[in-house]
Structure 1
Amino acid sequence: MAENRAEILAGAAVLAAAIGFLVYATGGRGAATAGSYELHASFRSVEGITPGSDVRLAGVKVGSITKLTLNPQSFYADATIAIEKSIQLPDDSAILISSEGLLGGNFVEIQPGGSSENLAPGDSIEDTQGSVSLISLLMKFVSGGKSDAAAP
């Protein structure tokens, strides 16, 4: 009887640890927090960005991507962004997808504008720049180098 109780307790501990890791790994992804408001933006490419990706302002996380969908009319990726309520962004702010480095991941960066008017919850950020593929940049560099050498 004591052996069964020990096995049950060990199994329960393993199950609790697995649930804890699952909650930690998925915590906050795709869900807006209570202290945030939503903004929208359309990107040509969101390569490297997923729901839950960081949104940063001056290198500080101020929100996250909550939803990504393809717009069938424009063929752009529509992003829904949750921003902390304490951050009021000028309505001429820009949003772009940046990389943490050659081997780092991508994140969304906000560059605030200079307008005296702020974006309201549900507004769209019009000035966007999608992600740049490192592979396509390398291909342009390699093919550009060959064509320059062949030119007189």
Structure 2
Amino acid sequence: MKSYFTIILIAVIFLINLGNSVYAQVSEADAKTVLNSIFDASSKEDYNKASSLLMFEKVLDKRAYNNSDAAEQKSVKRICKKIKAYIDLSDSYEVSGSKSVNMQGLNGTVLDVVFKSGDQKLNIAFTFLNVSGKILLSDFK
């Protein structure tokens, strides 16, 4: 009887952990939605909106940027200006692929975006991570 209880307890714990890891995944569709919101905010220079979509990271602190902090606001502006430059210098862009990743213990998705300008193409990988249930852009290069 005791062994049955132990087996059931282990199974329940396994299912809870499996459910949490599935919940923490970032789907391609969700990453695209956040990407489009960031592109829109960057194009409109809406740094307040963008700050809530970008990941701020210090040693043990991973969260969205705080727009009311002057230093963090300056970083958000710099990031948005880089993204806006990609958009402004391109005729068009498209997501060419995606892959699931686990970085820094966080689940996420990398979207490969191709910016097109005439015959030239520039490939940029945008990494989105699930930070406390919120999908944030953590990096692009």
TM-score band by shorter chain is 0.3 to 0.5
More helix by share: 2
Structure 2-normalised TM-score?
Answer: 0.33
Structure 1-normalised TM-score?
Answer: 0.31
Max Rg structure: 1
